[in-house]
Amino acid sequence: MHTSAGCPTYLYSGARAMVILHDQHLRSFFETWKRAKAAELALPITKDTAYASLEALLLHVCSCAGGYMRWLCEVLQLPDPGIRPAPGSDNIETGANDYIDHLARRWQSPLSGVPEESFGKPEYETRWKVKYCADAMLEHAVMHPMRHEFQLEELLKQQAV
């Protein structure tokens, strides 16, 4: 698991904590995803395209992880963080580990020089039309892989896999 060793000093330690937690929970989600894949876990039938397959779910979580940091840099008027697009659905399983490493590197420093007061106000509209301040988006980004990992764990228990 990636540690905080490479994470720079931040003006706002709360942002640093969220960056480290995001990395930890993204990696934890991927470990649970791999168990679900090995168990041939059946996902519930839904209209949500993120649940079309296990690969679609992995792609969703990885793509969102990049999108959250791009959005943060955009609204805080920071340089583009240089996050490349997630591997396609055909390559996500084999490319996820490298992509998660890429995300960890690209997430580490963009927010380091942002003062604490910039994280609480103002609020900005997200791509899904909800208003978040930067701090709330960081918390959302941490919770996103946690929520999907929880869902996979619940399904694994239900299917006694």
pLDDT per position as a tens digit, 19-30? 999 999 999 999
42, 43, 51, 53 from 46: Cα distances, Å? 12, 9, 7, 11
Write the DSSP symbol of residue 112. T
Reported in sequence order, the residue ranges of the chain that DSSP labels E, i.e. its strands, are 124-125, 131-132
> Once rounded to an integer, what is the mean pLDDT over residues 64-86?
97
Task: Extract the runs of DSSP E, i.e. beta strands, from 20-149.
Answer: 124-125, 131-132
Contact present, 13 and 134 (Cβ < 8 Å): no
The proportion of the chain whose per-residue pLDDT surpasses 90, expressed as a percent, equals 90
Residue pLDDT, tens place only, 109-143: 999 999 999 999 899 999 989 999 999 999 999 99
**Per-residue confidence at 5, pLDDT binned at 50, 70, 90?**
low
pLDDT tens string 35-62 = 999 999 999 999 999 999 999 999 999 9
- Torsion angle of the four alpha carbons 8, 13, 19, 25, in this order, in degrees rounded to the nearest 10: 130
Residue 103 has pLDDT above 70, yes or no: yes
Q: Closest by alpha carbon to 55, among 4, 89, 100?
A: 89
Euclidean distance between CA atoms 82 and 96, whole angstroms: 17
For residue 3, is pLDDT > 80?
no
pLDDT value at residue 21:
97
- pLDDT confidence of residue 160: 77
**CB-based contact 52:69 (threshold 8 Å):** no
| Residue range 10-158, CATH number | 1.20.120.450
Does residue 4 have a pLDDT over 70?
no
Name the percent of the chain lying above pLDDT 70: 96
Entry pTM: 0.93
pLDDT at residue number 47: 95
Mean pLDDT, rounded, of the chain: 94
pLDDT recorded at residue 88: 92
